[in-house]
Amino acid sequence: MRQSEVSRNTLETQITVRLNLDGSGVSKLDTGVPFLDHMLEQIARHGLIDLDISAKGDLHIDAHHTVEDVGITFGQAFAKAVGDKKGLRRYGHSYVPLDEALSRVVIDLSGRPGLEFNVDFTRERIGEFDVDLTREFFQGFVNHALATLHIDNLRGINSHHQCETVFKAFGRALRVAAEVDERAAGAMPSTKGSL
Protein backbone atom coordinates (compact mmCIF):
# COMPACT_ATOMS: atom_id res chain seq x y z
CA MET A 1 0.00 0.00 0.00
CA ARG A 2 1.50 3.28 -1.11
CA GLN A 3 0.11 5.41 1.68
CA SER A 4 1.62 7.98 3.99
CA GLU A 5 0.85 10.50 6.68
CA VAL A 6 3.01 13.53 7.42
CA SER A 7 2.50 16.36 9.89
CA ARG A 8 4.30 19.69 9.83
CA ASN A 9 4.04 22.00 12.83
CA THR A 10 5.64 25.44 12.90
CA LEU A 11 4.87 28.73 14.61
CA GLU A 12 3.02 29.70 11.40
CA THR A 13 1.13 26.54 10.44
CA GLN A 14 -0.01 23.14 11.68
CA ILE A 15 -0.64 20.76 8.78
CA THR A 16 -1.38 17.06 8.38
CA VAL A 17 -1.47 15.31 5.01
CA ARG A 18 -2.68 11.75 4.52
CA LEU A 19 -2.57 10.26 1.05
CA ASN A 20 -3.04 7.03 -0.84
CA LEU A 21 -1.42 6.99 -4.27
CA ASP A 22 -3.54 4.01 -5.30
CA GLY A 23 -6.85 5.57 -4.34
CA SER A 24 -9.92 6.59 -6.28
CA GLY A 25 -9.67 10.39 -6.04
CA VAL A 26 -11.56 10.89 -2.78
CA SER A 27 -10.61 14.05 -0.91
CA LYS A 28 -11.24 15.62 2.48
CA LEU A 29 -9.77 19.11 2.52
CA ASP A 30 -9.78 21.81 5.17
CA THR A 31 -6.95 24.30 4.72
CA GLY A 32 -8.84 27.44 5.61
CA VAL A 33 -8.21 28.68 2.05
CA PRO A 34 -11.30 27.73 0.01
CA PHE A 35 -9.74 28.21 -3.42
CA LEU A 36 -6.74 26.08 -2.43
CA ASP A 37 -9.15 23.35 -1.29
CA HIS A 38 -10.82 23.53 -4.71
CA MET A 39 -7.44 23.14 -6.46
CA LEU A 40 -6.33 20.28 -4.18
CA GLU A 41 -9.58 18.54 -5.04
CA GLN A 42 -8.50 18.68 -8.70
CA ILE A 43 -5.19 16.97 -7.86
CA ALA A 44 -7.00 14.22 -5.97
CA ARG A 45 -9.71 13.62 -8.56
CA HIS A 46 -7.49 13.76 -11.64
CA GLY A 47 -4.54 12.02 -9.99
CA LEU A 48 -6.75 9.31 -8.47
CA ILE A 49 -5.05 10.05 -5.16
CA ASP A 50 -7.04 9.80 -1.95
CA LEU A 51 -6.10 13.00 -0.16
CA ASP A 52 -6.92 14.18 3.35
CA ILE A 53 -5.39 17.55 4.28
CA SER A 54 -6.09 19.63 7.35
CA ALA A 55 -4.31 22.91 8.00
CA LYS A 56 -4.43 25.73 10.47
CA GLY A 57 -2.34 28.74 9.60
CA ASP A 58 -1.79 32.42 10.29
CA LEU A 59 -4.50 33.46 7.85
CA HIS A 60 -4.99 36.68 9.82
CA ILE A 61 -1.73 37.77 8.15
CA ASP A 62 -2.37 36.24 4.72
CA ALA A 63 -2.53 32.83 3.04
CA HIS A 64 1.14 32.64 2.02
CA HIS A 65 2.45 30.43 4.84
CA THR A 66 -0.53 28.09 4.66
CA VAL A 67 -0.37 27.57 0.89
CA GLU A 68 3.42 27.13 0.83
CA ASP A 69 3.44 24.78 3.82
CA VAL A 70 0.62 22.67 2.38
CA GLY A 71 2.80 22.28 -0.74
CA ILE A 72 5.79 21.32 1.42
CA THR A 73 3.84 18.78 3.47
CA PHE A 74 2.15 17.31 0.40
CA GLY A 75 5.60 16.93 -1.19
CA GLN A 76 6.92 15.15 1.92
CA ALA A 77 3.91 12.81 2.02
CA PHE A 78 4.23 12.07 -1.69
CA ALA A 79 7.96 11.25 -1.36
CA LYS A 80 7.24 8.96 1.58
CA ALA A 81 4.46 7.15 -0.32
CA VAL A 82 6.50 6.50 -3.51
CA GLY A 83 9.40 5.14 -1.46
CA ASP A 84 12.50 4.07 -3.38
CA LYS A 85 10.76 4.60 -6.78
CA LYS A 86 11.65 1.15 -8.09
CA GLY A 87 9.32 0.07 -10.87
CA LEU A 88 7.73 3.50 -11.33
CA ARG A 89 7.20 5.13 -14.71
CA ARG A 90 9.08 8.17 -13.29
CA TYR A 91 7.96 10.59 -16.01
CA GLY A 92 4.48 11.95 -16.56
CA HIS A 93 2.87 14.68 -18.61
CA SER A 94 -0.58 16.00 -19.32
CA TYR A 95 -2.33 18.67 -21.35
CA VAL A 96 -5.63 19.90 -19.89
CA PRO A 97 -8.05 22.41 -21.43
CA LEU A 98 -10.86 24.29 -19.74
CA ASP A 99 -12.80 26.41 -22.21
CA GLU A 100 -10.27 28.93 -23.57
CA ALA A 101 -7.44 27.90 -21.22
CA LEU A 102 -4.88 25.18 -21.90
CA SER A 103 -2.02 24.04 -19.68
CA ARG A 104 0.78 21.51 -19.99
CA VAL A 105 2.50 19.90 -17.00
CA VAL A 106 5.53 17.60 -17.23
CA ILE A 107 7.06 15.90 -14.18
CA ASP A 108 10.14 13.80 -13.52
CA LEU A 109 10.49 12.03 -10.17
CA SER A 110 14.19 12.64 -10.60
CA GLY A 111 15.40 13.12 -7.04
CA ARG A 112 16.35 16.66 -8.06
CA PRO A 113 14.06 19.52 -7.12
CA GLY A 114 13.39 21.97 -9.93
CA LEU A 115 10.49 24.15 -10.99
CA GLU A 116 9.87 25.92 -14.28
CA PHE A 117 6.64 27.84 -13.81
CA ASN A 118 5.36 29.76 -16.83
CA VAL A 119 1.90 31.10 -16.10
CA ASP A 120 0.98 34.70 -16.94
CA PHE A 121 -2.21 35.09 -14.97
CA THR A 122 -4.57 37.67 -16.45
CA ARG A 123 -5.40 39.09 -13.02
CA GLU A 124 -3.76 39.16 -9.59
CA ARG A 125 -6.53 37.53 -7.56
CA ILE A 126 -9.07 34.78 -8.00
CA GLY A 127 -11.66 35.84 -5.47
CA GLU A 128 -9.58 36.26 -2.30
CA PHE A 129 -6.75 34.02 -3.57
CA ASP A 130 -3.46 35.70 -4.56
CA VAL A 131 -2.36 33.96 -7.78
CA ASP A 132 1.33 34.34 -6.80
CA LEU A 133 0.70 31.64 -4.19
CA THR A 134 0.21 29.07 -6.95
CA ARG A 135 3.94 29.10 -7.64
CA GLU A 136 4.69 28.93 -3.90
CA PHE A 137 2.60 25.76 -3.58
CA PHE A 138 4.44 24.02 -6.41
CA GLN A 139 7.87 25.23 -5.22
CA GLY A 140 7.15 23.74 -1.81
CA PHE A 141 6.06 20.49 -3.45
CA VAL A 142 9.11 20.03 -5.70
CA ASN A 143 11.57 20.93 -2.95
CA HIS A 144 10.25 18.14 -0.74
CA ALA A 145 9.05 15.57 -3.28
CA LEU A 146 12.45 15.92 -4.98
CA ALA A 147 10.88 16.23 -8.41
CA THR A 148 11.49 18.30 -11.52
CA LEU A 149 8.29 20.03 -12.63
CA HIS A 150 7.57 22.09 -15.74
CA ILE A 151 4.28 24.01 -15.74
CA ASP A 152 3.22 25.97 -18.81
CA ASN A 153 -0.10 27.71 -19.28
CA LEU A 154 -0.20 27.83 -23.07
CA ARG A 155 -3.23 30.10 -23.30
CA GLY A 156 -6.03 31.52 -21.24
CA ILE A 157 -8.07 34.62 -20.54
CA ASN A 158 -9.82 33.66 -17.31
CA SER A 159 -7.42 33.30 -14.35
CA HIS A 160 -9.62 30.72 -12.65
CA HIS A 161 -9.52 28.60 -15.80
CA GLN A 162 -5.75 29.06 -16.12
CA CYS A 163 -5.16 27.95 -12.53
CA GLU A 164 -7.58 25.04 -12.69
CA THR A 165 -6.01 23.63 -15.85
CA VAL A 166 -2.61 23.75 -14.13
CA PHE A 167 -3.81 21.80 -11.09
CA LYS A 168 -5.76 19.26 -13.16
CA ALA A 169 -2.80 18.68 -15.47
CA PHE A 170 -0.51 18.36 -12.46
CA GLY A 171 -2.74 15.68 -10.93
CA ARG A 172 -2.85 13.73 -14.18
CA ALA A 173 0.91 14.00 -14.79
CA LEU A 174 1.62 12.96 -11.20
CA ARG A 175 -0.65 9.94 -11.60
CA VAL A 176 1.28 8.73 -14.65
CA ALA A 177 4.72 9.32 -13.12
CA ALA A 178 3.81 7.48 -9.91
CA GLU A 179 2.25 4.48 -11.69
CA VAL A 180 3.92 1.13 -11.31
CA ASP A 181 5.16 -0.05 -14.70
CA GLU A 182 4.68 -3.82 -14.85
CA ARG A 183 7.26 -4.11 -17.66
CA ALA A 184 9.92 -2.52 -15.44
CA ALA A 185 9.78 -5.53 -13.10
CA GLY A 186 10.72 -3.45 -10.08
CA ALA A 187 13.83 -1.96 -11.66
CA MET A 188 15.06 1.52 -10.82
CA PRO A 189 13.92 3.88 -13.63
CA SER A 190 17.42 5.30 -14.10
CA THR A 191 20.68 4.14 -15.67
CA LYS A 192 22.42 5.48 -12.53
CA GLY A 193 20.78 2.82 -10.42
CA SER A 194 19.25 5.33 -8.02
CA LEU A 195 17.05 8.42 -7.95
The CATH number assigned to the domain holding 133 equals: 3.30.230.40
- Does a structural domain hold residue 175? yes
Domain annotation covers residue 179: yes
Distances from the Cα of 124 to the Cαs of 69, 130, 140, 156, 181, in angstroms?
Answer: 21, 6, 20, 14, 41
Q: Which amino acid is at 188?
A: M
Within-domain flag for 102: yes
pLDDT value of residue 5: 98
Give the model confidence (pLDDT) of 138-186 as tens digits.
999 999 999 999 999 999 999 999 999 999 999 999 999 999 999 888 8
User: What digits encode the pLDDT tens for the residues 41-86?
Assistant: 999 999 999 999 999 999 999 999 999 999 999 999 999 999 999 9
Give the residue numbers spanning the domain of 83: 3-184
The verdict on residue 42 lying in a domain is yes
Domain assignment present for residue 136? The answer is yes
CB atoms within 10 A of CB 87: 18
Helix (H) or strand (E) run with residue 52 in it: strand 50-57
Asked whether residue 91 is domain-assigned, the answer is yes
Say what the pLDDT of residue 33 is. 98
The pLDDT, as a whole number, for residue 97 is 98
Q: What percent of the chain has pLDDT over 70?
A: 100
Structurally, how many domains does the chain consist of? 1
195: in domain = no
pLDDT value at residue 184: 87
Look up the pTM and report it: 0.96
β-strands 101-108, 148-155 pairing = antiparallel
Those residues whose C-beta lies under 8 Å from the C-beta of residue 193, and which sit 6 or more positions away, are none
Residue 51 lies inside a defined structural domain of this protein? yes
